[in-house]
Structure 1
Amino acid sequence: MRRREQILMTAEQVFGNPELAEAWLTKQAIGLSRRLPCMLLETDQGYMEVADFLVRLDYGVY
C-alpha cells in the first residue's frame, strides 16, 4: 500500500490533480509496454519502472 501512496503523490504532481493520477494508475500506459501501473507496483522492479516513467513524463522525456 505504501508504494501506491508514493506513486499516487508523484502522479498527482505530474498530472495536476488526484483524479487524473488515480485514473492513470488503472489504465494501460504506452510507456510501460501497455501494462497497468497499479499492477507493476507489486514488485520492486515494477515500482521502479513506474517511478522512473513518471519522472520521464514530468520532464517530457518519454
Structure 2
Amino acid sequence: MPDQLIGEPEPDFDRLPRALMAHAVDTFGGPVKARAWLTTPNPVLNNLQPLEIAATSEGVARVEEVLTRIDYGIFS
C-alpha cells in the first residue's frame, strides 16, 4: 500500500472469511474500497479496524452486521 509506513506489516486479508470479504467488496463496489474500509478505525466498532474485530467468529458477525447496516443506509 502506498500510504503504509516502511516496516509496517501488510494487513492479513487472507484470514478473513471469503463471505465477509465478498460482502465488503459488494458493499463498497470493489476490493480497493473494501480493503480501505476494513483497515480504517470505525467509531461503530469502538474505533477498532473491522479487520481487527473480524479475528473472532463474534467479531465476524459484528462486522457483517455493520456492513448490512451500511447496505441499508443505516450509518449509526
TM-score, normalised relative to structure 2 = 0.72
- Unmatched 5+ stretches in structure 2: 1-14
Question: What's the C-alpha RMSD, in Å, of the aligned pairs?
Answer: 1.3
Structure of higher CA gyration radius: 2
Query: Identity, % of aligned pairs?
Result: 31
Which blocks of at least 5 consecutive residues in structure 1 are unaligned?
none
Structure 1 pair 18/41, CA: closer, same or farther in 2 (3 Å)? same
Q: CA deviation at 1:7?
A: 1.6
Write the distance in 2 (CA, Å) between the matches of 1:49 and 1:30: 13
How many residues are aligned here?
61
**Separation in structure 2 between the aligned mates of residue 61 and residue 2 of structure 1, nearest angstrom:** 24
TM-score, normalising length: structure 1: 0.85
Runs of 4+ in 1 over 4 A off after TM superposition: none
CA deviations 1:4-55 (Å, max 9, x no partner) are: x322110111111110001111110122121111111111111110000000
From 6, 12, 19, the counterpart of 1:6 = 19
